[in-house]
Structure 1
């Protein structure tokens, strides 16, 4: 499952959701306003670069 933070751009959001649906990828949608500094740092720690 992928945590997906959606922006205010509804068209872009729909393109992303359609992409994940086409490939059968399960997503958990959140509003970008739910993003916190701590969550962002946590997400960045998953990347090796």
Structure 2
């Protein structure tokens, strides 16, 4: 007890269907093709 521990606290971003493209995909965390792999092409958002 009483020891300092280094930490980096990151801002939390809630991801939902409305911001998935502008967060996860745009930032390069996941590829569009991987995120929408099980979604029929005609139901996918435009890139």
TM-score exceeds 0.5: no
| Structure 2 length-normalised TM | 0.27
Q: Which has the higher contact order (CA 8 A, sep 6+)?
A: 1
Select the structure that is richer in helix: 1
Select the structure that is richer in strand: 1
Bigger radius of gyration, 1 or 2? Answer: 2
| Structure 1 length-normalised TM | 0.27
